[in-house]
Structure 1
Amino acid sequence: MRVLLKASFDTQRSSEVLRSGKLPQMMEALMERTKPEATYFTVDHGQRTMYLFFDMTDSSDMPAIADPLFTEMGASIDYTPVMDFDDLQTGLAKLS
């Protein structure tokens, strides 16, 4: 299932990770694990925020994906199922 992972990072803890030089390695490991369709980085409600769109094949992967973000960056995380336009068309066809 395609999901959106929204991660908002604690400013102090994410700054420490950035200064330590570990941030590129953490992001590379996350990208390798999730193989995202798209990833965006921004500021949301005053916090560094990442939006990661990827196919989650097994919901039991949720802890392994989120835990490094929780422990290293003090992240607040939301997982949300999402659809692209093709998925929407397929879903709408099932209404009739």
Structure 2
Amino acid sequence: MRMLLNVRIPHEPFNTLVRAGTVGDVIARILEETKPEAAYFTEQNGTRGAVLVIHLDDASDIPALAEPWFLKFNADCELRVAMLPQDLMKAGLENLGSKWK
């Protein structure tokens, strides 16, 4: 299942890793391990953030995707299901509309 992993990264320990010159290596290692379909880095509520498009085969995969961000950056993580247009077309909305009038 396609998911969005939203990561909010606090200033510390990120700033310390930037000053040490190691933050890029840490991020690269996390991305190599988790293999997101896409990764976007952005500002979120005044702090650093990332939005990753990931594939989740099983709920038991969640710790392997979130723990690196928790442990290396003290980050907050949120997971959301994401659908492509073709996923939405298969949802049967036309039947649901008549069922829940």
Q: What's the TM-score, normalizing by structure 2?
A: 0.81
User: How large is the RMSD of aligned CA atoms in angstroms?
Assistant: 1.9
Alpha-carbon distance between aligned partners in 1 of 2:15 and 2:58, rounded to the nearest angstrom: 31
SS, match of residue 88 in structure 1: helix
**Other-structure match for 2:9:** 9
Alpha-carbon distance between aligned partners in 2 of 1:94 and 1:27, rounded to the nearest angstrom: 43
**Other-structure match for 1:26:** 26
Matches within 5 A, 1:1-96: 1-92=1-92, 95=95
Deviation at 1:59? Answer: 1.6
Contact 2:34–2:64 (Cα < 8 Å) also in 1: no
TM-aligned CA distance change 1:13 to 1:58, over 3 Å: same
Deviation at 1:93? Answer: 6.2
The unaligned stretches of length 5 or more in structure 1 are: none
TM-aligned CA distance change 1:79 to 1:72, over 3 Å: same
Alpha-carbon distance between aligned partners in 2 of 1:32 and 1:58, rounded to the nearest angstrom: 19
Deviation at 1:35? Answer: 2.2
Deviation at 1:88? Answer: 1.2
1:61 partner letter: D
Q: What's the TM-score, normalizing by structure 1?
A: 0.84
Size of the aligned set, in residue pairs, is 96
The unaligned stretches of length 5 or more in structure 2 are: 97-101
Contact 1:4–1:82 (Cα < 8 Å) also in 2: yes
